[in-house]
Amino acid sequence: MPHQIKAKYGIPDKINYKLRLTEDGWFVVTSPDYPGLITQGRNGPEILDMVNDAVLTYFNVPRKEGDVVFNMMEIDGHGQIVYKDVKQIA
């Protein structure tokens, strides 16, 4: 369960994100709260997948623990990205 993973590894319930679009069409996501937390994707679902991967890696969560800790994220000034298929959440 995502809330158990967050509690076990000290992952906050909310992380602030910044988004920028590169010249070649990639969205780059960073967090001002966690230096080095950076990822990129081409669309909303891919960004959410990559942010989950980046957060799990940043907080040293083993792959066997889960793939998703956030089923939704807000990006400062750009709105929300939400998984439409909730079955992806472990």
Q: Answer whether residue 85 is part of any domain.
A: no
Range of the domain at 49: 2-79
pLDDT for the residue numbered 90? 38
Phi-psi domain of 10 (left: phi exceeds 0; alpha: psi -120 through 50; beta: other) = left
* 28 touches 38 (CB < 8 A): yes
pLDDT for the residue numbered 89? 40
The stretches in the chain having pLDDT less than 50 are 87-90
Q: Answer whether residue 84 is part of any domain.
A: no
pLDDT for the residue numbered 77? 77
pLDDT for the residue numbered 88? 43
Question: Could you tell me which of 42, 17, 16, 37 has the C-alpha nearest to residue 27?
Answer: 42
pLDDT for the residue numbered 79? 83
CATH of the domain at 53: 3.30.160
Q: Answer whether residue 87 is part of any domain.
A: no
Q: Answer whether residue 86 is part of any domain.
A: no
Longest dimension (CA), the chain: 39
Q: Answer whether residue 55 is part of any domain.
A: yes
pLDDT for the residue numbered 87? 42
Q: Answer whether residue 61 is part of any domain.
A: yes
pLDDT for the residue numbered 85? 58
Q: Answer whether residue 23 is part of any domain.
A: yes
- Domain tally, the chain: 1
